[in-house]
Structure 1
Amino acid sequence: MLWLSKAAAKRRKGFFVFSLAFAFILTTLALAPSVMPGALPFLKPLTIDTDPENMLPADATVRVRNGELKTVFDIYDFVVVGVLNETHPQGVFNAKDLANVKTLTDYAKTLSYEQRAGTFANVIASDIIAPSTVDNIETESLGAVSFTWLMKTAPSTDQEAALIRDRMLKIPMYKGTMISDDGAALALYYPLSEKSISHAVAQDLQELIDTFENTGAVYHITGLPVAEDRFGSEMFFQMAVSAPLAMLFVFGLLWLFFGHVRIILISLLAAMASVICTMALLVLSGQTIHIMSSMIPIFIIPIAVLDDIHILSDFYDKYTPERDRLEIVNEVMADLWRPMWYTTLTTAVGFASLMLTPIPPVQVFGLFVAIGVFVAWFFTVTLLPAYFMSLPDKALADFGALQTSERAIRDQSWLGRFLRTAGPFAGHRAKSIIVLSLALVVWAGIGIVNISVNDNPIKWFETSDQIRVADRIINEEFAGSYMAYLHLSSDSAVNDEPFKAPETLRYIAKMSADLEAESNVIGKVSGLDDIVSTVYRELYNDPAAYRIPDTRPAIAQTLLMYENSHRPDDIWTFVTPDFQDAVLWFQLKSGDNTDMAQVEKLVGDYLNRNPPPRTLASEWFGLTYINLVWQDEMVTGMLKAFLGSFIVVLILTSLLFRSLSWGIMAMIPLALTVATIYGAVGWAGMDYDMPTAVLSSLSLGLAVDYAIHFLARTREIFRRQQAWEPTLREMFEEPSRAISRNVIVVGVGFLPLLAANLVPYQTVGILISSILILAGAASLILLPALISVFQKPLFHRERITE
């Protein structure tokens, strides 16, 4: 690959024109379908997809069944609005607040949004759960039930508002769901035809709420769809802030190390070109911009300057005005082409390993970062040599270590002095360093065993964010804002309407009550039994009659009466018209995957311990359950990807070094780093969530670079020196300075992610920076210690025998 750099140095104008034209053409083609629709019909316009459900393939069984069952039972995802008033003695049940609640609900019915040409998504007005859209159910006369609007008009007095509250508390279906147990707070549920409008709905509702007179009421808007949709809306803004910040950080550090703006400018331009070309290729391939692919720029930028720093560092140490510049450039590239090519391959393999996961957006992310790695390598090995040859002599005035000290190899900067001390320490304290490393592995192993696999889209926001505050308050006041659905079906070939049978409905009612009592996560379980029991109680005007009737005709009578209500179709949200299938609505107080998994196990165990009166098949669906499934797929997929790519990179490094021993050496700092970081995650009690899982494979692609550079340069120097001590001293001059500069620049390059207000970005920033810095430190400390102990077998090929 050295010929490419030499060609670029000689034909610099041609390579500059080619690079500029390549980036321009790709960008134009990527933007054209969006800027000029229809002009290039063979190209797809830019599309954005922020739905976490698409973490699973479209044909995944759980997704297919979720769509089918939601259609069968007319179930939609909700925007949840909690209304509390802690200043009024009647809470939110006063005339002014209930008038505002009705105004808000009437407004919600009108919300509609154009999604695609000619298609609209809206709030499902007929299924809204709010005081003005549901019935008051009470005895009209013995044997007759009255269904009247609970709040047809807003109350004019606080006494009328209190009457509405009392009626709601009498109806078990509303208690805990729409009204808090203490009768002071309200929860409103606005169903959406498509969850992709949830953030827009939340914003529009909030705009109306902001116009209400201050009555002391506080409105909290939350729900899984809102969290997921809002995250998708904000992630692009966060990347628009984080990517320039990363560029600024990298620029500042390069300027600190090399001191010449014109010299380091090419590195930033090459990084920008790498990002532009990679994202353009992503769009041209027809891929959507997803949560994962939105983070590609922040990964490409630091990666793109990895090799640049080695070239700049070596050029900085070798340059003098007296020498022929082309000779210096060729010498620098001759020293570095092999480790740069090795690290490009291993980095690309590390990211490409993400294609082994069963998560499509992660596969796309891994593939295109791998492509970006090769694009960055090409720009580095061509544009930098060409640029160096294009600079006038005055631009290089006072540039280089030889300009300020007698010999470049004796760099007197703080970094040079520190490394000159660290090298002999690592070599002479080898056994102690190895023992400490083994102790660190044991400590990390204990932490890894204690890692908890968990995620919750609500927790993608900071604890002080209003959506987190709303989530916490609503789940304290009500039965829960997280919905999971249990589908029950009879496998009987004969349609005998099993869910009209008294014994079946009694079983469901008892199971619901038992599960609510057993779990603090399950706030409430709702089903057909609630409708039947409520109507049956009002038929007899007797609280003791709140139960399942003893006969099928009696059950049929209660359902027939309910069909006279204003919402007769509510029956079919719990059972199919042939009464062969039913669904139980689980309101959960937490959307954590661990809690959903606990509920799934609890229900499974209950069904095994207490078999229903007839054989019933069960399956889960709903957004909360889908999140559990794709997170499990993510964790197992990332583990497979990491193990697979670890083996591939080990084989690759062994082939590149032509030695299994040196290949294993290259992987040791990485293994120690990953173990330490994930051990710390376990000890700190952090959740092993989506970004934490992805980082295992990402770290493999990046962190092994330092070890490869260290080992490749060590072998080259040993071939000249033929002794370990002088090799160690020389390694901790220019080669280690370049590695250290890389560690600092790339490690700090990810820290701008901490400025984001989205927790996954913060997690990626702190963990990837920690991984890269620790991997660099392990390469510079542990590797010389290991080589000192095992130098004889390691260098047997490099030794010149007499």
Structure 2
Amino acid sequence: MRKLSEHAATHRRGYFWSVLALTFALMLLAVAGTLFPRAPLLQALTIDTDPENMLADDAPVRVDHHRLKQIFGLDEFVVVGVINDSHAEGVFNPQDLANIAQLTATAKSLKFDITVDGKPVTARVVAEDIIAPGEVDNIETSGIGAVDFSYLMPRVPKTAAEAVQVRTRAQNIPMYRGTLVSADGKALALYFPITHKQISHAVEQELRHEIDSFADTGAEYHITGLPVAEDRFGAEMFFQMAVSAPLAMLCVFLLLLYFFRNVKLVLFSLVTAMIAVAFTMSLLVVCGFTVHIMSSMIPIFIIPIAILDDIHILSDFHDRYTPDRPRLEIIQEVMGELWRPMLFTSLTTIAGFASLVLTPNPPVQVFGAFVAIGVLAAWFVTVTLRPAYLMVVSDATLAKFGTAQKAKGADTERPGGALAGGLRVLGGFAAGNGKLILAGSAVVLALSVWGITKIEVNDNPIRWFESDHEIRVADRVINDHFAGSYMAYLALQPATPGSAGDQPFKQPEMLRWIAGLQGHLEAEVPTVGKVTALPDIIKTVHRELLGSPEAFRIPDSPQAVAQTILTYENSHDPDTVWNFTTTDYDRANLWLQLNSGDNKDMQSVVQAVDAYLADTPPPVAMDKTWFGLTYINLVWQERMVTGMAEALLGSFAVVLVLVIVLFRSPSWGLLAMVPLTVTVVTIYGIVGWIGKDYDMPTAVLSSLSLGLAVDYAIHFLARSRQIFARTQSWARTLPEIFEEPARAITRNIIVLGVGFLPLLASSLVPYKTVGTLISAILVLAGLATLLILPALVSLFPHHLFKKETRDASRSRSPAGGAAAGAGRR
């Protein structure tokens, strides 16, 4: 690496142009593919924020989800809740119902041209399956043995009495209570099925545009649903990145400027980092990979790693530079000191992220591979362009740069300044209080391990938004008024075909068992607002056929069940039956409306069903299959958390082996892993203690802990060994290591620990989490390095420095001196 840096410093024009040309070419290809998506050999930028795609295409849960949706004729829903607390009858007044009818008509007409799997597709709102007052049937008796099916709201009411009648009819039909009409009878929920989740944000925007045209009646319109949240996140993700990331970069720039007081040199630090980011993201697009939730975070990982190395170079150059010395000589000294720790840290970070390719999650694989590529790019750009740039900056630019030139000033970075003095005190404390520091660290680790046991794996795309975001507000309002906006589905079929006879889900005993399961879930599981299934249709029609409330039950014979279904086929939407069973009645489907989309709540529903099956077995053994977006979120989150935990352990092992090889010592390799271990355990212990859910960003950032904690430790230990080889005394090495090397590490801690806090300004919770945890990881990793490592080394210096002591002894022996002299000659 020293030769590479020297070559770049002496052939700077070629390196500048080569790096810029390659990066610009990749950016041009990425832009061209996006502007001309049908051009051959070009790849367009594609954005995908669908959590379902966190799983492989052939993952069983995805295969089952799409297969069963097709079997039962189901689509995802955009949910609109309409609440009017200012009117005595709520939304059941002529003006609000007229607006709802108009909104429904608008939704029925919505179509969008999109691209799915590279093919143009027309996606739409499924007009025939809309659940709205003017689209569903009122079911009531028209005489013994006869049922009348008319629209619940055949026309827009003209009087208050007609409007109230719509509510009365809806409340009389169990399938609509809590779904279409709220429990208090004052609010309505509309369900607009869409053929593809990709259009949910576009549908939301069109509906909001229509709502904005309504005269003010006091009604509030809230739009939510998992497809809306996921698509809305994608729409806002890049806007937030375009705002928050530059703010973070500005903060980093200002802090670097404070430390080095040189705009041109500091600005180049950001330029090199952005070159690495532009190269990596352009390459990702050119290679045809989708920019998804995780890959959107790649720049956040590359930038700190790139800046870390650059700060070390700048810091060392700052302490060595004087105008009377040749710059190339200074650069050779700087890179001679830094090439080993910078190469080691880059290799270990690359190995750590590259190991994510072994996880079962495709987006995690892409994320790990391209962060590794980005780290390699950042390393190359830093060790070539930074030395090259230092050779071309003018003497005037460096007139007041460097510790030696500031010795007469008041700058706190000079050797007698506050930072240098504070680090000397810290070094002395670490050396003299090693047992106390290690005992304190052990206590922290014990408490953190206890905290880790309290961690709950949980996520919910709705919670990716701030609590006052309109998506979150809509979610709360709708789930407070209605049975729930989160859909999960449970498909049942006999475990052994034919064991329940022909058409098993026409059998009264089977339907009663399903009804019992519905009642149990609604009564015993707080998350379940409502369960709708075939028994609801049968019991409602049976009641109206007999004209008696007592007839709201499952008929006693299969023939009577068949009669209710045959009667329902006279309705305006007879195909609704096939949402709950198949045409040969060998499968059944239960719709569960949940008032929470949290993974842990979905898991409690799954466990409740399992318990009911065990305690109250069905008439014949059943196979069950869960599907729906809420269940898919549970599965991908569990897979991801498990995969990231396995990846972290794998990365830890890979990095440990690599550090041992690089240091050529198991002792030094294990020592380098101490700050990483302390950092990861402590951060996640705090996560458990404060009750923060272990969600996607929290899981992913464990990888960053590995990369950055090892970075600090390797720099500290490599420089310690270099200095000890010269001083042959840990007592003399320790004060020196707490000079320039410690100042460089501390600058990194401050710049990056504080620099990424502006991510907290984002309105998206994952970016807030990333900002908080990056800062916490950087600060804690730095403190662990500066406190624990010198304490450990001070306790075992003779064991750790055996090689350096032997090498020094050989160089002092007559044979060694003769060999060295012969080598010089």
TM-score by length of 2: 0.95
Per-residue deviation, 1:666: 0.6
Per-residue deviation, 1:492: 4.1
> Helix, strand or coil for the counterpart of 2:78?
strand
**Alignment partner, residue 102 of structure 1:** 101
Per-residue deviation, 1:29: 2.2
> Helix, strand or coil for the counterpart of 2:804?
coil
Task: Pick the aligned partner of 1:312 from 311, 314, 335.
Answer: 314
The CA distance in 1 between the partners of 2:30 and 2:133, in whole Å, is: 50
**Alignment partner, residue 612 of structure 1:** 618
Task: Pick the aligned partner of 2:206 from 204, 207, 215.
Answer: 204
> Helix, strand or coil for the counterpart of 2:529?
strand
The CA distance in 1 between the partners of 2:157 and 2:476, in whole Å, is: 30
**Alignment partner, residue 476 of structure 2:** 472
Cα deviations by residue, 1:677-701 (Å, 9 ceiling, x for unpaired)? 1111101011001111111122111
**Alignment partner, residue 112 of structure 2:** 113
Letter in 2 for 1:284: V
**Alignment partner, residue 691 of structure 1:** 697
The CA distance in 2 between the partners of 1:677 and 1:560, in whole Å, is: 62
**Alignment partner, residue 4 of structure 2:** 4
CA contact (8 A) 1:140 1:146 kept: yes
Per-residue deviation, 1:772: 1.0
The CA distance in 1 between the partners of 2:38 and 2:627, in whole Å, is: 40
Structure 1 runs of 4+ with >4 Å offset = 406-410
- Map 1:257-656 to 2 at 5 A: 257-405=259-407, 411-494=415-498, 496-656=502-662
**Alignment partner, residue 714 of structure 1:** 720
The CA distance in 1 between the partners of 2:481 and 2:777, in whole Å, is: 41
> Helix, strand or coil for the counterpart of 1:454?
coil
Letter in 1 for 2:581: V
Per-residue deviation, 1:412: 2.8
> Helix, strand or coil for the counterpart of 2:623?
strand
Q: Structure 1 unaligned runs (5+)?
A: none
The CA distance in 1 between the partners of 2:176 and 2:24, in whole Å, is: 60
Letter in 1 for 2:557: T
Letter in 1 for 2:371: V
The CA distance in 2 between the partners of 1:153 and 1:19, in whole Å, is: 68
The CA distance in 2 between the partners of 1:664 and 1:618, in whole Å, is: 49
Per-residue deviation, 1:411: 1.5
- Map 1:90-169 to 2 at 5 A: 90-116=89-115, 118-169=120-171
CA contact (8 A) 1:488 1:619 kept: yes
CA separation of 1:342 and 1:118: change in aligned 2, threshold 3 A: closer
The CA distance in 1 between the partners of 2:594 and 2:18, in whole Å, is: 58
**Alignment partner, residue 769 of structure 2:** 763
**Alignment partner, residue 177 of structure 1:** 179
> Helix, strand or coil for the counterpart of 1:160?
helix
Letter in 2 for 1:417: G
> Helix, strand or coil for the counterpart of 1:393?
coil
The CA distance in 2 between the partners of 1:45 and 1:515, in whole Å, is: 46
Per-residue deviation, 1:749: 3.2
The CA distance in 2 between the partners of 1:209 and 1:9, in whole Å, is: 63
- Map 1:730-745 to 2 at 5 A: 730-745=736-751
CA contact (8 A) 1:349 1:701 kept: no
Letter in 1 for 2:315: S
Task: Pick the aligned partner of 1:785 from 791, 795, 809.
Answer: 791
Cα deviations by residue, 1:478-517 (Å, 9 ceiling, x for unpaired)? 1111110000012444360000011110111111111211
CA contact (8 A) 1:527 1:574 kept: yes
The CA distance in 2 between the partners of 1:251 and 1:697, in whole Å, is: 25
Cα deviations by residue, 1:379-419 (Å, 9 ceiling, x for unpaired)? 11111111111122222111100012289996233321211
The CA distance in 1 between the partners of 2:211 and 2:42, in whole Å, is: 43
CA separation of 1:134 and 1:269: change in aligned 2, threshold 3 A: same
The CA distance in 2 between the partners of 1:352 and 1:249, in whole Å, is: 29
- Structure 1 residue 775 corresponds to structure 2 residue 775: no
**Alignment partner, residue 72 of structure 1:** 71
The CA distance in 1 between the partners of 2:195 and 2:288, in whole Å, is: 27
> Helix, strand or coil for the counterpart of 1:186?
strand
Per-residue deviation, 1:616: 1.8
> Helix, strand or coil for the counterpart of 1:718?
helix
> Helix, strand or coil for the counterpart of 2:203?
helix
CA contact (8 A) 1:654 1:663 kept: yes
Cα deviations by residue, 1:175-207 (Å, 9 ceiling, x for unpaired)? 111111221111111101111111111111111
The range that moved more, 541-550 or 10-19, is: 10-19
- Structure 1 residue 13 corresponds to structure 2 residue 17: no
**Alignment partner, residue 675 of structure 1:** 681
Per-residue deviation, 1:293: 1.0
The CA distance in 1 between the partners of 2:529 and 2:38, in whole Å, is: 52
Letter in 1 for 2:573: R
Letter in 2 for 1:70: K
Cα deviations by residue, 1:291-318 (Å, 9 ceiling, x for unpaired)? 1111112222221111110110000000
**Alignment partner, residue 193 of structure 2:** 191
The CA distance in 1 between the partners of 2:245 and 2:772, in whole Å, is: 15
Cα deviations by residue, 1:419-478 (Å, 9 ceiling, x for unpaired)? 121111111111111110000011101100010110011110111111111111111111
Per-residue deviation, 1:67: 0.3
> Helix, strand or coil for the counterpart of 1:584?
strand
Letter in 2 for 1:62: V
Per-residue deviation, 1:36: 3.8
Q: Structure 2 unaligned runs (5+)?
A: 813-825
CA contact (8 A) 2:37 2:43 kept: no
The CA distance in 2 between the partners of 1:36 and 1:130, in whole Å, is: 41
Identity %: 60
The CA distance in 2 between the partners of 1:792 and 1:601, in whole Å, is: 57
Per-residue deviation, 1:38: 4.8
The CA distance in 2 between the partners of 1:160 and 1:79, in whole Å, is: 28
**Alignment partner, residue 28 of structure 1:** 28
The CA distance in 2 between the partners of 1:492 and 1:710, in whole Å, is: 65
Root mean square deviation, CA, Å:
1.4
Letter in 1 for 2:201: H
Per-residue deviation, 1:748: 2.6
Per-residue deviation, 1:118: 4.7
The CA distance in 2 between the partners of 1:27 and 1:42, in whole Å, is: 15
CA contact (8 A) 1:350 1:698 kept: no
The CA distance in 2 between the partners of 1:304 and 1:243, in whole Å, is: 15
Cα deviations by residue, 1:80-119 (Å, 9 ceiling, x for unpaired)? 1111111111111111111111111111101111113652
Count of aligned positions: 801
Task: Pick the aligned partner of 1:750 from 732, 740, 756.
Answer: 756
The CA distance in 1 between the partners of 2:37 and 2:435, in whole Å, is: 66
CA separation of 1:295 and 1:502: change in aligned 2, threshold 3 A: same
Letter in 1 for 2:563: Q
Task: Pick the aligned partner of 1:236 from 227, 235, 238.
Answer: 238
